[in-house]
Amino acid sequence: NSFAIVIHGGAGGIKREYFTQEQQDAYAEKLQEALDAGYAILEKGGISLDAVQAAINVMEDSPLFNAGKGAVYNSEGNQEMDAAIMDGKTLNAGAVAGVNHIKNPILAARMVMDSSEHVMLSGKGAEILAKKFGIEMVDSSYFFTEKRLNQLREIQGKEKTPLDHTAYLIKNELIDDHKFG
Amino acid sequence: TVGAVAIDKSGNIAAGTSTGGMTNKKYGRIGDVPIIGAGTYANNLTCGISCTGTGEYFMRTVAAHEVSSLIKYKKLSPKEALHEVLFNQIGPLGGEGGIILLDKNGDIFWDFNSTGMFRGFKKSSGETKVEMFE
């Protein structure tokens, strides 16, 4: 009857010296909140799929992380989000790609898994189905964050794509230290 | 990118990942996250996995499924499998990022070849941890 949850909030140029204590505390607090949300479901006997969804929802709703509210901008100044979820018991899986009106893309991924015969839906089709199933839709302006926009402006026009969290760094020179996809 | 992997009281594992992709990506670019087996994978026989990093490299190595397969067929430990994929497959190609893993026994592992990864876990045994840096 043991249970557990593990989470991540992105990787990249993350060194202690690049973050203020206030920023470190904010990240730690939100990570703990996400863990607690998932753990609470498991503790009550809930299923792992619901726990994963709950933990990710917390991080999607925070501007600190590159998902949902804190999603980064593409080269055209828009956001295009992806999400996936998989059930290890049945090997069922669901995913959405390139969406920008679904408040919590992980919910849409779950909907694709549970309520369609498909594994991955992209763009308009994913959003139409999400809306049909009552998943919360938002105007794309909901995802606006000044820090992410500034992060884009720093490198727009260049062939560079930095990993997560660069927007929150005190210094910007890390951008030049990265390998780029 | 954010992700989570959990195992419930029935021993069922689930994994999920959500992302905005990479800043300044080309419009229409899709990374590893929504591709089952690349950035996200779960199998009760082995483990659940969520990845974060430069998606193209996780796609090219089918990273999440590769880790699971190394455990299943080559009998590597989760720690060895993560190291193999991150440092011997993704790293040499130029890829950077990290992976969290929760195995069928409820044991938790993570590894990354970037300078850091925001991460944490909480177990019914009472163990819990949140870490950010190396």
Radius of gyration of chain A (CA): 17
- Total residues found in chain B within this entry: 134
ipTM above 0.90 for this complex: yes
In this structure, the strands spanning B128-133 and B116-123 are antiparallel
Of the candidates B8, B112, B120, the beta carbon closest to that of A47 is on: B8
pLDDT in tens, A35-55: 999 999 999 999 999 999 999
pLDDT, tens digit only, all 181 positions of chain A: 899 999 999 998 788 888 899 999 999 999 999 999 999 999 999 999 999 999 999 999 999 999 999 999 999 999 999 999 999 999 999 999 999 999 999 999 999 999 999 999 999 999 999 999 999 999 999 999 999 999 899 888 776 777 776 544 544 433 333 433 3
The verdict on A107 touching B (C-beta cutoff 8 Å) is no
Does B27 score more than 90 pLDDT?
A: no
* Chain B residue numbers touching A126 (CB-CB < 8 A): none
Cβ atoms of residues A6 and B119 within 8 Å: yes
Q: Which residue has the tokens 């927007």?
A: A167
Are A8 and B119 in contact (CB < 8 Å)? yes
Position A166 scores a pLDDT of 53
Cβ atoms of residues A34 and A8 within 8 Å: no
Position A175 scores a pLDDT of 37
Cβ atoms of residues A163 and A11 within 8 Å: yes
Q: Which of residues 125-154 of A touch B (CB under 8 A)?
A: 148, 151-152
**Which one of B122, B123, B125, B127 would you mutate to disrupt binding with A, by most A Cβ within 10 Å of its Cβ?**
B122
Position A172 scores a pLDDT of 42
Are B18 and A14 in contact (CB < 8 Å)? no
The verdict on B87 touching A (C-beta cutoff 8 Å) is no
Tell me the Ramachandran region of residue B72: left when phi exceeds 0, alpha when psi lies from -120 to 50, beta otherwise.
Answer: alpha
> What value, to the nearest 5°, has the Cα angle with vertex A118 and ends A112 and A124?
65
* Chain B residue numbers touching A110 (CB-CB < 8 A): 16
The verdict on B91 touching A (C-beta cutoff 8 Å) is no
Cα dihedral A58, A155, A12, A149, rounded to 10, equals -10
Are A10 and B27 in contact (CB < 8 Å)? no
